[in-house]
């Protein structure tokens, strides 16, 4: 999160807690809490207090670099639909041209839960619409298998591309769609670009870097290899005491290169409730290929 402290286009964090279960008997399990700001978090005492006093097992964090939409809090990722959280790195090209088509595809509740103007939030609405078969807010509180999540996300991506083909024809350009979704128990990420040779933004994953990132355990992301960054030796736990975990990030966030794997182009990473990581190619049609005509 260090870069977020100086980010000028907005920062957003969603973390899952069980707080709602103490007050709402109809709510079970974890639900997302949100912090979003367009100011510098470094100067925000609320952000500092949240960081020092919050513990969670599921967290989404996003540093925004706008591609044209306004720098306002509502445009910050992540986006929440009930228990489901969504964020995006990249861009839907010529979004304005297909925005109406996306909105027409949505049921009224998903459309009404779009509070900003970004391409990302519209993809999020498409995703939740397909995941829940357009059944509305009550269905947003339900759990779905990670396979169902992947199917819904693929359907949303396919709709975007087919709308571009129909509306823009040969003038369409490739999209960069690094997408992530969770319900607090499952994780789905997507690294995608519909171009024959060009790569989407990078997306790495790790099942071991948490030991380095967690100050309770050996190592530290900013320390020399083997250092404990000033933590008393008796406070440091052994690496084998750390539980199973999965971290996905645009770039590696520790100094140990061997802790990270690059998610291949046009593939998705799925994590079910058992914590097992599965990486698979996504379905892809050759007709989806688009050229970058901006140069």
Per-residue confidence (pLDDT) for residue 25, from 0 to 100: 84
CA distance 15 to 83: 11
Q: Is residue 139 part of a domain?
A: yes
What is the sign of the dihedral through the CA atoms of 55, 61, 63 and 69? negative
Q: Where is 97: in which H helix or E strand?
A: helix 95-105
Stated pTM of the model: 0.89
Query: What are the phi and psi torsion angles at 236 (to 5°)?
Result: -90, 125
Q: For 56-60, 70-74, 103-107, 142-146, which range has the lowest pLDDT when averaged over its residues?
A: 70-74
CA distance 180 to 187: 7
Full residue range of the structural domain in which residue 75 is found: 2-203+263-288
pLDDT of 290 > 90? The answer is: yes
Q: Is residue 214 part of a domain?
A: no
Q: Is residue 192 part of a domain?
A: yes
Model pLDDT for residues 18-30, shown as the tens digit of each residue: 988 888 888 889 9
Q: Is residue 45 part of a domain?
A: yes
Q: What's the CATH number where 95 sits?
A: 3.60.20.10
And the tokens for 132? 């829940």
Asked if 273 contacts 185 with a C-beta cutoff of 8 angstroms, the reply is: yes
pLDDT of 3 > 60? The answer is: no
Per-residue confidence (pLDDT) for residue 287, from 0 to 100: 95
Q: Is residue 250 part of a domain?
A: no
Model pLDDT for residues 129-169, shown as the tens digit of each residue: 999 999 999 999 999 999 999 999 999 999 999 999 999 99
Q: Is residue 218 part of a domain?
A: no
pLDDT of 274 > 50? The answer is: yes
- What is the total count of domains within the chain? 1
Residue with more model confidence, 25 or 114: 114
Q: Is residue 79 part of a domain?
A: yes
CA distance 20 to 275: 24
**Cα–Cα separations (whole angstroms), residue 64 to 13, 15, 71:** 11, 17, 9
Q: Where is 87: in which H helix or E strand?
A: strand 84-91
CA distance 147 to 140: 16
CA distance 81 to 141: 8
Q: Is residue 14 part of a domain?
A: yes
Mean pLDDT to the nearest integer, 28-45:
86
């Amino acid at each position: 999160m260090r870069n977020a402290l100086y980010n000028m286009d907005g920062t957003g964090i969603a973390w899952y807690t069980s707080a709602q279960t103490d007050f709402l008997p109809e709510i079970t399990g974890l639900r997302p809490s949100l912090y979003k700001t367009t100011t510098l978090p470094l100067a925000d005492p609320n952000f500092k207090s949240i960081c020092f006093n919050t513990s969670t097992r599921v967290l989404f964090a996003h540093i925004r670099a706008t591609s044209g939409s306004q720098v306002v809090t509502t445009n910050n990722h992540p986006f929440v639909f009930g228990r489901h959280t969504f964020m995006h790195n990249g861009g839907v090209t010529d979004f304005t041209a297909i925005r109406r088509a996306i909105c027409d595809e949505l049921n009224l509740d998903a459309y009404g839960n779009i509070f900003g103007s970004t391409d990302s939030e519209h993809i999020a609405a498409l995703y939740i619409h397909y995941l829940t078969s357009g059944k509305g807010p009550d269905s947003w509180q339900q759990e779905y298998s990670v396979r169902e999540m992947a199917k819904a996300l693929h359907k949303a991506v396919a709709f975007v591309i087919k709308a571009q083909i129909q509306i823009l024809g040969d003038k369409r350009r490739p999209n960069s769609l690094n997408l992530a979704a969770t319900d607090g128990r499952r994780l789905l990420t997507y690294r995608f670009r519909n171009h024959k040779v060009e790569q989407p933004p990078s997306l790495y994953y790790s099942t071991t870097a948490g030991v380095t990132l967690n100050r309770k355990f050996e190592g530290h992301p900013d320390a020399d290899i083997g250092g404990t960054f000033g933590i008393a030796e008796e406070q440091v736990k052994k690496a084998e005491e750390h539980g199973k975990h999965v971290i996905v990030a645009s770039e590696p966030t520790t100094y140990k290169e061997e802790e990270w794997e690059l998610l291949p182009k046009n593939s998705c990473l799925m994590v079910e409730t058992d914590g097992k990581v599965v990486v698979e190619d996504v379905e892809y049609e050759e007709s989806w290929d688009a050229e970058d005509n901006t140069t």
